[in-house]
A and B are shown apart, each in its own frame.
Chain A
């Protein structure tokens, strides 16, 4: 009886089980634990890490985890209508709602620039995948005004595929990501445009915002005053794009 109550009220998961559930490595979970991002419970004589099932359930509901899992899964879950926008028109309506909600708590600089960055990243997904979505059309778009973050994701072709059409010499995701954020180049040949992500970079580095952006196995972390692009190898591959915009420091 005692044991039954313990297990149902406070079920513990091993670090291996949690790694599988969240789709990250055990090393990542150790790092997250040390950084306070996802705390474990140390148990047993050797101090093994365990996690409360309820903490993991809560974590899986966080918007960037939902978006990331949707973007990288082979068989993704069906998203709720309040975070999934199949066409540009419905995305625009949600973007206007973000602008309106931010206006209640933030100065015009934040409202204007964060909405512009989210609008540019979201519209990029539609610009480059219209008529060519590999499986599910549209974008994941959600935000938490409380947590000061906006999350976007798509299951599109990704930046490497798009840019390779005009730059066949590009060989990996990392180079493609660097090119997209530093050169004016359009994957929509013959259109001579494509400064959307350069615009995003210019805003992030001049303001107290930060951006996490992943395409393929390359991930970029960008923040205020960054001069170089910090691009690293990701643990998982996302065929399309995944972005988290944070603006916590300004408010």
Chain B
């Protein structure tokens, strides 16, 4: 399954927004098998911060472990955020 983050917005900065994105996406994730590959696409995201990422990417990684793969992570704030999160991601 592919998650296009731009569908949550292109400026992803606050904790409540990240938490809301995570909650809103639960119905889709519930239909996903734990072994299924999850591709997170950062295309067109202009701004990302650890606050938003902690509420969405961290629980996603906790749930799907090594099946989470990140693509289009070239944006400078995306790179800076991913380098500071405690969880290592596959890119």
Contact = CB atoms under 8 A, between A and B. Distances in A.
Do A and B make up one complex? yes
Interface of A: 88, 92, 95-96, 99, 108-109, 111-113, 115-116, 119-120, 123-124, 126-127, 184, 193, 195-196, 198-199, 202-203
Given A92-B14, A115-B11, A115-B46, 10 more contacts: A92-B11, A92-B13, A92-B17, A99-B46, A112-B75, A116-B13, A119-B51, A120-B50, A195-B50, A199-B49
Interface in B68-91: 75-77, 80-81, 83-86
B34 interface: no
Interface of B: 11, 13-17, 46-51, 54, 75-77, 80-81, 83-86
23 contacts: A88-B16, A92-B11, A99-B11, A99-B46, A108-B75, A108-B76, A112-B46, A113-B80, A115-B13, A115-B47, A116-B80, A119-B13, A119-B14, A119-B47, A120-B51, A123-B13, A123-B14, A123-B15, A126-B14, A184-B86, A198-B84, A199-B50, A202-B83
Dominant secondary structure of chain B at its interface with chain A: helix
Contacts, number: 77
* Residue from the set A96, A108, A120 with the largest chain B CB neighbour count within 10 Å: A120
B5 to A, nearest CB: 14
Dominant secondary structure of chain A at its interface with chain B: helix
A193 B14 CA distance: 14
